[in-house]
Amino acid sequence: MRIRNIKNADELIYESPYLIKNPYLYIGEYKTKVFKNNNPIHLEIGMGKGNFIIDMAKNNPDINFIGVEKYSSITLRALRKLKDINLPNLKIINIDALELSKVFKKEISTIYLNFSDPWPKKRHHKRRLTSEIFLRIYDDICLENIIIQKTDNIGLFESSIVSLSTYGYKIVDISLDLWSTDKVTSETEYENKFRKQGIKINYLKAIKK
């Protein structure tokens, strides 16, 4: 994603009530202390400008959603969309996903990986959000390990299938053309752009027992 740096974004994000300012404080207690209910928590890692997670939160009031984004300028773009909207089931965190096991403990029910950076060079493959490094982190944070991935990138998609299967996930649903199915839910910014260009979207759902 092209990042247009916004001056003072690091400080400006703190003005939003949706931002969890110190996410490390609530480890293991997100349901009781942050959402104050017992609904499942779904996480989108690399939420970008937030279209998907905001729409999901609007459409599913009985699910708690948390969007994770590593760049403050991009986080701010998402937070600005939430001005004047009241969504008690949505929170945003500005951290790198590598930090997630210090933030959550066995409390996440579903992880969405939407159009994650593909990291095509072999020496960068471990940075992919479905590499073993991240799958280990997801073990720490998940109560139920359910991963839903959407991507235009076939290299990332194929390596995710291998990585997830090798690690013990079962691919329970898959499509090489999501928009030709009835599985379409909320659309991301990238998905919207690719769909309009006629690019097919790969989709999978994986569960680890």
Which residues contact ligand SAM (rule: CB under 6 A)?
1, 45-48, 68-71, 74, 96-97, 114-117, 188-191
In degrees and rounded to multiples of 5, residue 175 shows phi and psi of: -150, 140
Closest CA relative to residue 111, chosen from 134, 94, 127: 134
> How far apart are CB 83 and ligand SAM at their closest, in Å?
20
Name which of 4 and 209 has its Cβ closer to ligand SAM.
4
Q: Which residue, 1 or 32, has its beta carbon nearer to ligand SAM?
A: 1
Question: What's the min distance (Å) between Cβ of 170 and ligand SAM?
Answer: 24
Q: Which one of the listed residues 55, 117, 139, 140 is annotated catalytic?
A: 117
Q: Which is nearer to ligand SAM, 76 or 161 (CB)?
A: 76
Q: Residue 32 or 120: which CB sits closer to ligand SAM?
A: 120
Q: Is 62 noted as a catalytic residue in this protein?
A: no
> Closest separation between CB of residue 193 and ligand SAM, Å?
8
131 and 163 Cβ atoms separated by less than 8 Å:
yes
Cβ 63 vs Cβ 42: under 8 Å = yes
Q: Which amino acid is at 207?
A: I
How is residue 87 written in tokens? 């969504």
Q: In the structure encoding, which two tokens stand for residue 59, read together?
A: 């459409």
- What the block records as the tokens of 47 is 């939420």
DSSP 45: E
Least distance (Å) from ligand SAM to the CB of residue 16? 17
Beta bridge partners of 44: 67, 112
Just list the catalytic residues. 117
